[in-house]
Amino acid sequence: MDFKQMMQTDQVIIKLSVSDVLKAQAFYTEILGFSVNQGYTINAGGNYGMDSYVQLHHEGLKGAVALGLFKDIEQPMAPQETGTAATFIVKDIVSTRDFLIAQGLEVGGIIENTSDHGLIDHFAFFADPDNNTLVIRQNMN
């Protein structure tokens, strides 16, 4: 038996460290369009204290990916330019970038990559309120 056969579901949950669950929840629901999965909410201490958790899903992802906002830090992390980054594939990177900027977010410039097989993508980095690195990417071909 291999790992794929041991998996119970076809869903992946990406855990993100947050310092303020409600602030992070507002960012992901109001700006990025996620919804709270109430069945997997842990309101530690009744005030979303340390070890609280909110799981989010997005209709556009058809249940394959969920985000887990876990309060395990007291304050936002220092901004990082490298490391793990949740990447959202978008239809139009220019319009999406403009939308995020209009929401008051700092979004890096659009960068182009070409794979070894000639596939091209454009991407730009931004961050959530806790400086978790996020990426928007458009596959060009």
Residue found by looking up tokens 């291999």 in the block: 2
The backbone torsions φ and ψ at residue 3, rounded to the nearest 5 degrees and listed phi first, read: -60, -40
Question: How open is the CA angle 81-84-89, to the nearest 5 degrees?
Answer: 95
Q: What is the pLDDT of residue 134?
A: 94
Alpha helices by DSSP H, listed for the chain, are 3-6, 21-26, 93-102
Question: What is the spatial distance between Cα 81 and Cα 14, in angstroms, rounded to a whole number?
Answer: 19
Q: pLDDT tens digits for the chain (141 residues)?
A: 787 777 777 788 899 999 999 999 999 999 999 999 999 999 999 999 999 999 999 988 777 889 999 999 999 998 875 678 899 999 999 999 999 999 999 999 999 999 999 999 999 999 999 999 999 999 998
- Ranges for all domains in the chain classified under CATH 3.10.180.10: 1-73, 76-141
Closest CA to 27 of 134, 116, 111, 140: 134
Question: What fold, for 76-141?
Answer: 2,3-Dihydroxybiphenyl 1,2-Dioxygenase; domain 1 (3.10.180)
Q: What is the pLDDT of residue 82?
A: 62
Q: What is the pLDDT of residue 5?
A: 78
Question: What is the spatial distance between Cα 39 and Cα 118, in angstroms, rounded to a whole number?
Answer: 43
Can you read off the two tokens belonging to residue 97?
Answer: 């970038």
Q: Which CATH class is domain 1-73?
A: alpha beta
